[in-house]
């Protein structure tokens, strides 16, 4: 197992290298110039040139890429063009809200979706199954921002139960954190609940047709034991896979949710940076997202060995 993990960790290096090159080239080849944005409306062409020079944007693309890789090799993601702050500091400032939102969303989604999927499979073909599947399709279909605004309208503006926006760290005030994170979590969870419910249902239905399930039932075991101990455990691999994929989807999902609920996380940081062409932030964040994605895949692979002892690396 250790050799497998080490091999997978080493494999991340070329993956990140390709990502770094791709992101760098895409940014340099796309239109927009941070120097023009900084210089503003009154700047003369020579002012803009001086700013470009000062930012190192006049160097050739290979030279710029080489400099960036050199700083990366020293564990430095660079300095933000606009804020003049280290990208690592900006990311560190933003990582907690995104991490917390992602964690609460995943936990909430799994707690709701897995039981729903099992019930749908157990009652396959009945009105209960159909109702759950209709809700799942609706969950897939409703845009995150629409649901967010509806929840804000109902629970913040009408009932005044929860705040519209903002974020408080659980390490500062857990009650405030809970109030702030509830609506974003529910909003972002809906699509994952729909996704995981459908996969759980399909996996459990497939397992319920296996011989060992019939055997378990023939032995007189209760449906609860059959479902939870035999069916769900054996259906776990695809469910874990889809939860892992869900983390990747979360990276995209948090961008919108963080905007709607004004959560100062990584999603908003990357959007702001793209709009301003703050190259070091965009490059750094995409590398971090890629790293997280690779790590999540690794964690999922490790979890496979727990839920299915037959899997060995």
Partner 1 sequence: MIQSTRRALLFAAALAVPALALAAPQPAAAEKVLRVIPHADLKNLDPIWTTAYISRNHGYLVYDTLFALDENLQVQPQMVDTWTVSDDKLTWTFKLRDGLNWHDGAPVTAEDCVASLRRWGARDGMGQALMDVIASLTAADAKTIVMRLKEPYGLVLESIGKISSNVPFMVPKRMAETDPFEQMPETIGSGPFKFSKEEWVPGAKVVYLKNEAYVPRSEPASGAAGGKIAKVDRVEWIYIPDQQTAMNALINGEVDYYENPPPDLAPILEAAEGVVVEVNDPLGNQGMLRMNHLHPPFNNVAVRRAVLKSIDQNVYMQAAVGNPQFYSVCDSYYACGSPLETNAGNKLVTSPSIEEAAKMLKETDYDGTPIVLIQPTDIAILSAFSLVTAQRLRAIGMKVELQAMDWSTLTSRRAVKEPIDKGGWNIFHTWWIGGDITNPVLATGMGGGGVERAWFGWPDDPKIEEMRSSFARETDAGKQKTLADAIQDRAINNGAYGNVGTFFVPVAYRDNVKGLIKSPVQFFWNMDVER
| Site residues, partner 1 (CB under 8 A) | 1-2, 5, 31-33, 36-45, 47-48, 50-51, 54, 80, 82-85, 90, 92-96, 99-100, 149, 152-153, 156-157, 160, 163-166, 169, 171-172, 259-262, 264, 268-269, 272, 275-278, 295, 299, 302, 305-306
Instruction: Pick between residue 154 and residue 215 the one whose CB is nearest to partner 1.
Output: 154
State the residue for tokens 């020579």.
46
Q: How far is the CB of 32 from partner 1 (least distance, A)?
A: 4
Q: How far is the CB of 182 from partner 1 (least distance, A)?
A: 15
Instruction: Provide DSSP, 219-271.
Output: TT--HHHIIIIIIIHHTHHHHHHHHHHHHHHHHHHHHHHHHHTT--SHHHHHH
Q: How far apart are CA 222 and CA 203, in angstroms?
A: 20
Instruction: Pick between residue 78 and residue 264 the one whose CB is nearest to partner 1.
Output: 264
Are the C-beta atoms of 68 and 23 separated by less than 8 Å? no
Q: How far apart are CA 259 and CA 271, in angstroms?
A: 9
Instruction: Pick between residue 48 and residue 112 the one whose CB is nearest to partner 1.
Output: 48
Measured CA distances, 73 to 13, 17, 172, 296 (Å)? 11, 11, 35, 23
Q: How far is the CB of 68 from partner 1 (least distance, A)?
A: 20
Q: How far is the CB of 166 from partner 1 (least distance, A)?
A: 7
Instruction: Pick between residue 31 and residue 125 the one whose CB is nearest to partner 1.
Output: 31
Q: How far is the CB of 234 from partner 1 (least distance, A)?
A: 19
State the residue for tokens 């967010």.
148
The pair of structure tokens assigned to 303 is: 């979890």
Instruction: Pick between residue 133 and residue 307 the one whose CB is nearest to partner 1.
Output: 307
Q: How far apart are CA 166 and CA 182, in angstroms?
A: 11
Q: How far apart are CA 150 and CA 254, in angstroms?
A: 17
Are the C-beta atoms of 301 and 8 separated by less than 8 Å? yes
Q: How far is the CB of 301 from partner 1 (least distance, A)?
A: 9
Task: Give Rg (Cα) of the chain.
Answer: 24
Instruction: Pick between residue 128 and residue 302 the one whose CB is nearest to partner 1.
Output: 302
Q: How far is the CB of 118 from partner 1 (least distance, A)?
A: 25
Give the angle 13-252-99 at the CA atoms, nearest 5°: 75
Instruction: Pick between residue 51 and residue 226 the one whose CB is nearest to partner 1.
Output: 51
Q: How far is the CB of 188 from partner 1 (least distance, A)?
A: 15
Instruction: Pick between residue 47 and residue 210 the one whose CB is nearest to partner 1.
Output: 47
Q: How far is the CB of 142 from partner 1 (least distance, A)?
A: 17
Instruction: Pick between residue 65 and residue 82 the one whose CB is nearest to partner 1.
Output: 82
Q: How far apart are CA 273 and CA 203, in angstroms?
A: 41
The pair of structure tokens assigned to 169 is: 């760290």
């Amino acid at each position: 197992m250790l050799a497998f993990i080490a091999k997978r960790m080493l494999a991340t290096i070329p993956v990140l290298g390709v990502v770094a090159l791709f992101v760098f080239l895409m940014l340099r080849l796309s239109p927009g110039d941070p120097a023009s944005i900084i210089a503003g409306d009154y700047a003369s062409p020579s002012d803009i040139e001086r700013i470009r020079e000062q930012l190192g944007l006049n160097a050739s693309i290979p030279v710029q890429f080489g400099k960036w890789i050199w700083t990366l090799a020293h564990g430095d993601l660079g300095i933000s063009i606009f804020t003049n702050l280290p990208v690592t500091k900006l990311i560190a400032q933003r990582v907690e809200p995104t991490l917390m939102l992602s964690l609460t969303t995943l936990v909430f989604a799994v707690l709701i979706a897995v039981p729903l999927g099992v019930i749908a499979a157990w009652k396959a073909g009945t009105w209960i199954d159909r109702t759950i599947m209709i809700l799942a399709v609706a969950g897939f279909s409703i845009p995150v921002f629409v649901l967010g605004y509806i929840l804000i309208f109902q629970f913040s503006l009408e009932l005044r139960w929860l705040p519209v926006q903002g974020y408080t760290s659980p390490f500062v005030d857990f009650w405030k954190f809970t109030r702030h994170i509830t609506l974003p979590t529910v909003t972002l969870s809906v699509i994952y609940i729909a996704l995981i419910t459908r996969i759980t249902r399909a996996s459990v239905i497939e397992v319920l047709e296996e011989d060992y399930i019939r055997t378990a039932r023939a032995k007189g075991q209760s449906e609860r034991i059959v479902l939870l101990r035999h069916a769900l455990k054996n259906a776990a691999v695809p469910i874990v896979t889809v939860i892992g994929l869900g983390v990747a989807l979360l990276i995209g999902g948090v961008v919108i949710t963080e905007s709607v609920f004004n959560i100062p996380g990584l999603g908003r940081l990357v959007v702001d940076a793209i709009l301003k062409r703050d190259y070091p932030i965009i490059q750094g964040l995409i590398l971090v997202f890629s790293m997280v994605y690779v790590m999540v895949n690794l964690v999922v692979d490790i979890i496979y060995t727990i839920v299915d002892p037959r899997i060995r690396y």
